[in-house]
Structures are given as C-alpha cells and as structure tokens.
Amino acid sequence: EAGVAQSPRYKIIEKRQSVAFWCNPISGHATLYWYQQILGQGPKLLIQFQNNGVVDDSQLPKDRFSAERLKGVDSTLKIQPAKLEDSAVYLCASSLGPAKAFFGQGTRLTVV
C-alpha cells in the first residue's frame, strides 16, 4: 500500500516570500491533516479536512496560511508571506477513521 506522499522534501526561502506544499493521501482516506512540527517540539495541528470540507482550522494562522483540498483527494498548504518563525517540518497525515493516522515524511521548510 502506498503511503502518504509529500513534496517537496526540503525548501529554503527568504522571509516574505511565498511557498506551497503538496500532499497526496493514502487512497480512500477521507480525513486529511496538516501538522506543523517546530524543532524540538511535537507536531501541532494546523488544519483537518473531511473529504473536501474543513473540519477544524482553529490553529491555522489565517492571515498568512491557507490550505485547500480540491476534489477531496490531494491537498496544498500555502504560506504567504513567510516569516522566520515558520521554519519547521510540515507533516501531512491521512486516516480512514479515528484509530490510526498515517503520516508522510514531511517537508522541511527553512526561512532565512
């Protein structure tokens, strides 16, 4: 079974630039999550989708972050403009139900 695919694996940008990350969940998984993992901390939920609808985006900094999941499959997360404190690993995960979420390898973003 193919896992959760994310790209790119690494990205370096200057502050105030924009960046986008892509996620392809496991086939058939209706729920998709984006987490932010800052170095030395555990992942923090940014947004949760159920099919193509948003379930929870309460921790998404909406002034600069946006996410979409068109057609209920792939998802993109965008940051515009980026700040230094956005440097982190951005993890995508998907699940069929509450029991088990599968995580991608993440995109490591460095903002300089």
Partner 1 sequence: GNSVTQMEGPVTLSEEAFLTINCTYTATGYPSLFWYVQYPGEGLQLLLKATKADDKGSNKGFEATYRKETTSFHLEKGSVQVSDSAVYFCALTRDQAGTALIFGKGTTLSVSS
How far apart CA 51 and CA 111 sit, in angstroms, is 31
- Shortest Cβ 30–partner 1 spacing (Å): 10
Question: Rounded to whole angstroms, how far apart are CA atoms 112 and 106?
Answer: 19
Q: Is the distance from CB of 23 to CB of 5 less than 8 angstroms? A: yes
Least CB distance to partner 1 at residue 109 (A) = 16
Closest to partner 1 by CB, 17 vs 87, is 87
Is the CB of 82 or the CB of 92 nearer to partner 1?
92
Using the rule CB under 8 A, is 9 a contact of partner 1?
A: no
Site for partner 1 in 30-89 (CB under 8 A): 31, 33, 40-45, 48, 55-56
Give the C-alpha separation, 45 to 34, whole Å: 6
Q: How far is CA 48 from CA 16, 34, 41, 58, in A?
A: 26, 7, 20, 10
For binding to partner 1 (CB under 8 A), which residues are involved?
3-4, 31, 33, 40-45, 48, 55-56, 91, 93, 95, 97-106
